[in-house]
């Protein structure tokens, strides 16, 4: 029973999705609430503040666990590594509030859709639903499934038949009202956050609360100037943050505001057409598409076709053709029926319909799939409103460091308590002074200082036309050690040039038609296919569409015309595309071609086809174009030339982009039959027409950039949708695969009836000269690796199909292949994302550079996704480069490395600054003293604050180093740096503190202040200071004035200045420190001012700084001691702690190795002589323990010898959000 109760108490929301949540049910208890209220009053609201920071504590304190269906409060917890909690109140909806009667019979469904959760959520006879609202999405309690389910969308379990027949005629007005009440409005509403709300959120940040406590304490002790300075800085920081958040809120509000005001036409069952505002749409409504329209919801096309601009989703404003959902009678879910290609039927919210093509049976119609925040646009807005926290080692470890500093402060607190209680100081003063020491260790400028480096990096990137919508990822870019590139438009030129056509006749390839010859393409089936098989549209007199399609169409010299009276000759609707010969086209017996139907191209299918009719002919033609291997599969084998593989290879090895064309004649004569024809039937038994050869030249920037990355030991990988041989050639031409390296093609096949899944490893031999001029073949022979070849550099190449098979049937092989995989061709968008994720699992920090269209998923998945787009900010990726070449990649890595090193430097400086002040203050506490107000002010404002604001502005070093900066704060060099500098500072300060007491002129001023003031003139004369000291100053007795504070202050100040210089390391990741002019000037000025104060004998300075005059030799000895400390610290930091060769030697001697999974795999692979396998086939079920290392990419670091352990890859999170 207890187990069953526990099961009812917990359920999963969005199971298996990225935003999966655990839900726990609780009931509020009045007595518990009353007790919490009393405690909150007694603690002056401290308990409420804790509840604000930790919502789970509020629930646990106020509520009692119960089954979810009885709960009035739901506690939600994310299932990711962060385990964040949210508290949500359950609310009820009553259908009895509707203006029409509703059946209370449990057997009667409320809505016609049998799959709909509404039927399972309403309790009868109460007609009540239990709901929660989580991150703008509404969920209702499903009594059958015993969990909360999303509403505001049609269930994916609907089949094509269900969508056409259940929703095809529209919803009844009663069902619309029920759905409106349950699903809520179809609106993406972003509230402009009131300033007072933003202000409270900022002020209640744990750090600011701690700061408020600190400042209150300091003000009570009379530290007015410093406290006011910090208050001013804090207020400026909060105001700027609130202003920035408010501006973002206003921008986002304005971005989505128009979405909710679209006028639409829908079909209502038994009532006909009805106009209404888009916010009244519900899932299941039938939307009429009259023409140009900004889509207010996600909808699936059921009748007619249309052309949309999906630039908002992909960043590319290329028209995309959408086709209607097929009429099939199977019960398979409609998305499964279309597999990856279901998107070709879906119109996404926020995209623009730019042209509609009715089918002739009525207007273009679509069924509303999702509304509000469930839509594609809503999901985008939600990702902005509720960004996924990112977890980066630097910030996790910074948080641990903060805890350590706080612990140091607590130690100081008890130390101060002991000292002051021992001297029998009043309890109030004792507590105050102990709390003061507690606040010294955590510097107030820490968050601003860590953020400022990223701000500087962002500005520098902007100058290079690289824009960023996720600034915290800049630091992560500094750790990038693998970059994936798309090929077309990224490594190679975006525009393709026509090279020629290779037609076929009598099952043989004919003479090549070269476009450079100036002759028009001769009329024939090939010309007809090129003229009609594309997705181009005529918009305002301009042909628009995919660049490849456009170039191919231009090669025919035909033209597209607006639909006119000619279409009537064919009995077509005026929405069909009409193509006619242009003035420069070769003579044709055909006056026009009408495209009747289009099966769009998709990356997963690697083909597209059209059904067209030639003027004067009764029958119809199917034309197909696509990847040659794919097109050949749909052709009758006797029409494909026997030497097809060799000819194809001949062109692909030269880097040409090759497209194959095919056709067939349909025997049907009725247009209605054409409209109903399934794609599988149209795309079968085709006749192979030939090849279209297009040149895809490398961009001039590609080769030098890849060379630069290779020299920096950053792996480069190609992920493309193009042909494998073309990809290999481009990789060799660009030297992604260095000269002399071997390429092994990995080909995997699905299991068949009598054979298990298999993997074949084929070694690509050296290139040999082919029969044509400058043509080469890649021979895949049966030779084995050359002698000594196993020490060489090997690269695996594979297609998306092989990758999929390996993932499913040879998962143990996958990491071994990825460690050396360089070319991944014919990859679908989903496979690209999967591949990036697999690289991350091997602990690579992955960069991805693509054009933002088919690469959206991979760009978002990568640690550093860079979209080459003309827009300043693309939703496709964290980074967007307006310069359309890969030069942006090294720029970004350089800036990332500089920002990362700056973050480490600033963090080390502020840690040391807190420790230096802690040591000095603790020594003075020994005799119940502390530094003066202006002494603190000088260090905090004139030095530390200025240093923190300028230290990070040093530019990135122009050359990429062959290794990455350290990615961990808790690493031996950094911990030793902080520890040793703390020791040096402690030794210097303790020695000075003790040594000053041994001086003959020393007097315990703090104990005998009356005596000192009486004899001050005699004292001054006796130490030969009379000529510069007037003797008329009034030295106020108190807890500041002493020879100890006069001695320790310049030592601590010099220390703060010198460590700022020591931690501002330049080469190899940043330019030398002297190039940062403002920072250098500030350091020199601070040093000069400190020396001036130390050696000056001006009464006003001594009185203001609360110093006591000392002899010149003592002052000189202070300067010498600080200089010695600087020299020792600089030598240790530069010659030992920053000596990479020394640390590599220590690692080797003591057996410390990298824990990265990919390095462990490399070591294991290097120890197996049978890896890589060549010219052999493996079957699933075989054991294979072959290993191999690719030495070409690796730095001289050692790799581990211990047992292999695969680990997860961390992502990034700003550590302040963890407080």
| DSSP code at position 156 | T
Number of helices followed by number of strands (H, E) in the chain: 42, 44
Number of residues written out for the chain: 1219
User: Which residue has tokens 């602990």?
Assistant: 843
- What is the C-alpha to C-alpha distance for residues 526 and 580, in angstroms, rounded to an integer? 15
Contact 621, 613 (CB under 8 A): yes
Residues 691-718 as b/e (b if ≥16 CB within 10 A, e otherwise) read bbbbbbebbebbeebbebbbebbbbbbb
| DSSP code at position 660 | E
Distances (CA, A) of 546 to 94, 319, 591, 858: 51, 7, 25, 21
- What is the C-alpha to C-alpha distance for residues 917 and 278, in angstroms, rounded to an integer? 63
Q: Is 181 exposed, middle or buried (0-12, 13-18, 19+ CB in 10 A)?
A: middle
Q: Which stretches of 562-678 are DSSP H helices? A: 566-569, 628-633, 644-652, 671-676
How many CB atoms within 10 Å of residue 78?
16
Contact 307, 354 (CB under 8 A): yes
Distances (CA, A) of 1153 to 167, 845, 1098, 1144, 1203: 62, 18, 59, 9, 12
Q: Are strands 794-799 and 821-825 parallel, antiparallel or unpaired?
A: parallel
Of 741, 715, 730, the closest CA to residue 658 belongs to 730
The CA-CA-CA angle for residues 560, 667, 587, to 5°, reads 35
- Is 341 assigned a catalytic role? no
User: Which residue has tokens 């026009």?
Assistant: 592
Query: Active site residue: 142, 285, 486, 851, which one?
Result: 486
Secondary structure class of 492 (helix, strand, coil):
strand
Distances (CA, A) of 140 to 92, 93, 121, 144, 1048: 9, 10, 6, 12, 67
Q: Is 806 exposed, middle or buried (0-12, 13-18, 19+ CB in 10 A)?
A: buried
Secondary structure class of 298 (helix, strand, coil):
strand
Residues 6+ apart with CB under 8 A from 1093: 938, 1050, 1101, 1105
Secondary structure class of 302 (helix, strand, coil):
strand
Contact 1093, 1101 (CB under 8 A): yes
Q: Which stretches of 144-275 are DSSP H helices? A: 160-166, 173-183, 195-203, 206-220, 224-257
Distances (CA, A) of 864 to 367, 479, 847: 37, 10, 5
Beta-ladder partners of 560: 579
Terminal CA-CA length for the chain: 39
User: Which residue has tokens 């001012």?
Assistant: 1089
Structure tokens that stand for 429 in this block: 């003063």
Cis status of the peptide bond prior to 1068, with omega within 30 of 0: yes
501-507 long-range contacts, CB within 8 A, separation 24+: 501/526, 501/530, 501/690, 501/691, 501/692, 501/693, 502/647, 502/690, 502/691, 502/693, 503/689, 503/690, 504/639, 504/641, 504/688, 504/689, 504/690, 507/638, 507/639, 507/640, 507/641, 507/642
Beta-ladder partners of 266: 274, 287
Q: Which residues are catalytic, by number? A: 486
């Amino acid at each position: 029973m207890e187990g069953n109760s526990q099961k009812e108490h917990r359920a999963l929301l969005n199971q298996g999705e990225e935003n999966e949540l655990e839900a726990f049910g609780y009931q509020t208890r009045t007595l518990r609430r009353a007790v919490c209220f009393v405690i909150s009053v007694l603690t002056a609201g401290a308990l409420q503040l804790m509840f604000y920071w930790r919502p789970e504590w509020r629930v646990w304190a106020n509520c009692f666990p119960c089954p979810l269906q009885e709960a009035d409060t739901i506690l939600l917890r994310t299932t990711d590594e962060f385990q964040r909690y949210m508290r949500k109140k359950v609310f009820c909806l009553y259908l009895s509030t509707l203006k029409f009667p509703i059946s209370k019979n449990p057997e009667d469904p409320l809505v016609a859709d049998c799959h709909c959760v509404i039927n399972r959520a309403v309790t009868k006879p109460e007609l009540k639903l239990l709901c929660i609202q989580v991150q703008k999405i509404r969920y209702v309690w499903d009594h059958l499934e015993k969990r909360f389910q999303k509403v505001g969308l049609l269930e994916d379990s609907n089949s094509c038949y269900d969508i056409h027949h259940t929703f095809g005629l529209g919803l009844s007005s009663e069902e619309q009202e029920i759905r409106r009440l349950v699903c809520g409005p179809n609106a993406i509403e972003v509230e402009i956050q009131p300033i007072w709300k933003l202000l409270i959120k900022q002020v209640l940040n744990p750090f600011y609360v701690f700061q408020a406590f600190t400042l209150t304490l300091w003000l009570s002790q009379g530290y007015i100037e410093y406290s006011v300075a910090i208050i001013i800085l804090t207020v400026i920081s909060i105001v700027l943050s609130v202003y920035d958040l408010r501006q973002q809120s206003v921008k986002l509000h304005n971005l989505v505001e128009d979405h909710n005001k679209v006028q639409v036409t829908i079909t209502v069952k038994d009532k006909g057409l009805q106009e209404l505002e888009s916010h009244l749409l519900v899932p299941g409504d039938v939307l009429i598409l009259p023409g140009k329209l900004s889509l207010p919801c996600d909808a699936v096309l059921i009748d007619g076709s249309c052309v949309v601009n999906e630039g908002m989703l992909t960043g590319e404003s290329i028209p995309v053709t959408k086709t209607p959902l097929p009429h099939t009678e199977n019960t398979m879910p409609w998305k499964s029926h279309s597999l990856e290609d279901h998107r070709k039927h879906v119109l996404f919210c926020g995209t623009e319909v730019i042209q509609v093509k009715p089918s002739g049976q009525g207007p273009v119609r679509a069924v509303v799939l999702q509304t509000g925040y469930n839509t594609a646009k809503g999901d985008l807005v939600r990702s902005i409103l509720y960004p996924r926290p990112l977890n980066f080692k630097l910030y996790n470890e910074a948080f641990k460091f903060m805890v350590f500093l706080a612990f140091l402060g607590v130690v100081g607190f008890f130390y101060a308590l002991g000292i002051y209680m021992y001297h029998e100081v009043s309890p109030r003063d004792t507590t105050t002074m102990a709390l003061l020491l507690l606040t010294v260790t955590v510097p107030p400028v820490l968050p601003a200082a860590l953020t400022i480096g990223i701000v500087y990096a962002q500005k520098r990137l902007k100058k290079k036309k690289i824009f960023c919508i996720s600034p915290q990822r800049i630091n992560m870019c500094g750790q990038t050690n693998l970059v994936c590139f798309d090929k077309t438009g990224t490594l190679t030129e975006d525009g393709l040039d026509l090279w020629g056509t290779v037609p076929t006749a009598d099952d043989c390839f004919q003479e090549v038609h070269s476009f450079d010859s100036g002759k028009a393409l001769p009329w024939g089936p090939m010309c007809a296919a090129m003229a009609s098989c594309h997705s181009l549209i005529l918009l305002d007199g301009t042909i628009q569409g995919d660049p490849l399609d456009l170039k191919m169409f231009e090669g025919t010299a035909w033209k597209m015309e607006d639909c006119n009276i000619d279409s009537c000759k064919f009995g077509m609707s005026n929405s069909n595309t009409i193509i006619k010969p242009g003035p420069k086209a070769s003579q044709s017996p055909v006056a026009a071609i009408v495209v009747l139907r289009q099966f769009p191209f998709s990356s997963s299918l690697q083909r597209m086809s059209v059904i067209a009719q030639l003027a004067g002919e009764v029958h119809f033609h199917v034309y197909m174009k696509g990847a040659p291997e794919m097109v050949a599969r749909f052709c009758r084998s006797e029409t494909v030339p026997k030497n097809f593989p060799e000819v194809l290879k001949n062109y692909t090895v030269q880097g040409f982009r090759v497209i194959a064309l095919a056709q067939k004649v349909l025997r049907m004569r009725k247009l209605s039959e054409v409209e109903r024809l399934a794609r599988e039937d149209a795309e079968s038994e085709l006749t192979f027409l030939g090849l279209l050869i297009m040149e895809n030249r490398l961009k001039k920037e590609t080769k030098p950039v890849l060379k630069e990355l290779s020299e920096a030991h950053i792996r480069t990988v190609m992920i493309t949708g193009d042909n494998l041989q073309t990809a290999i050639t481009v990789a060799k031409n660009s030297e992604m695969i260095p000269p002399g390296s071997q390429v092994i093609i990995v080909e995997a096949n699905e299991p068949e009836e009598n054979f298990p899944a298999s993997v074949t490893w084929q070694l690509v031999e050296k290139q040999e000269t082919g029969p044509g001029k400058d043509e080469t073949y890649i021979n895949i022979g049966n030779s084995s690796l050359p002698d000594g070849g196993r020490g060489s550099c090997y690269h695996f190449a594979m297609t998306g199909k092989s990758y999929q098979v390996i993932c499913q049937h040879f998962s143990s092989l996958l990491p071994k292949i990825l460690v050396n995989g360089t070319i991944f061709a014919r990859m679908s968008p989903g496979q690209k994302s999967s591949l990036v994720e697999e690289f991350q699992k091997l602990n690579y920090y992955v960069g991805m550079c693509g054009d933002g269209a088919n690469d959206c998923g991979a760009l978002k998945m990568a640690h550093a996704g860079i979209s080459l787009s003309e827009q300043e900010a693309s939703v496709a990726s964290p980074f967007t480069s307006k310069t359309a070449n890969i030069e942006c990649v090294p720029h970004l890595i350089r800036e990332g490395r500089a920002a990362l090193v700056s973050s480490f430097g600033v963090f080390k400086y502020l840690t040391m600054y807190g420790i230096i002040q802690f040591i000095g203050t603790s020594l003075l506490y020994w005799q119940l003293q502390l530094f003066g107000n202006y002494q603190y002010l000088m260090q905090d404002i004139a030095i530390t604050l200025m240093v923190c604001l300028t230290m990070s502005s040093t530019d990135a070093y122009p050359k990429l180093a062959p290794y990455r900066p350290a990615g961990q704060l808790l690493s031996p060099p950094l911990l030793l740096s902080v520890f040793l500098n703390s020791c040096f500072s402690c030794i210097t300060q303790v020695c000075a503190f003790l040594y000053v007491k041994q001086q003959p002129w020393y007097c315990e001023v703090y104990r005998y202040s009356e005596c000192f003031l009486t004899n001050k003139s005699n004292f001054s004369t006796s130490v030969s200071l009379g000529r510069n000291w007037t003797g008329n100053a009034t030295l106020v007795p108190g807890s500041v004035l002493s020879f100890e504070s006069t001695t320790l202050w310049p030592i601590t100040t010099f220390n703060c200045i010198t460590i700022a210089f020591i931690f501002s390391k330049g080469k190899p990741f940043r330019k030398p420190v002297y190039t940062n002019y403002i920072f250098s000037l500030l350091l020199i000025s601070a040093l000069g001012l400190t020396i001036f104060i130390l050696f000056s004998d001006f009464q006003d300075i001594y009185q203001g700084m609360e110093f006591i005059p000392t002899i010149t030799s003592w002052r000189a000895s202070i300067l010498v001691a600080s200089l010695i400390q600087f020299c020792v610290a600089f030598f240790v930091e530069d010659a030992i702690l920053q000596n990479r060769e020394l640390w590599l030697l220590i690692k080797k001697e003591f057996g410390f190795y990298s824990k990265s999974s990919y390095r462990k795999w490399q070591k294991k692979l290097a120890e197996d002589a049978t890896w890589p396998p060549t010219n052999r086939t493996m079957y699933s079920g075989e054991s294979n323990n072959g290993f191999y290392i690719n030495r070409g990419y690796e730095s001289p670091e050692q790799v581990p010898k211990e047992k292999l352990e695969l680990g997860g890859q961390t992502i990034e999170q700003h550590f302040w959000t963890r407080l």
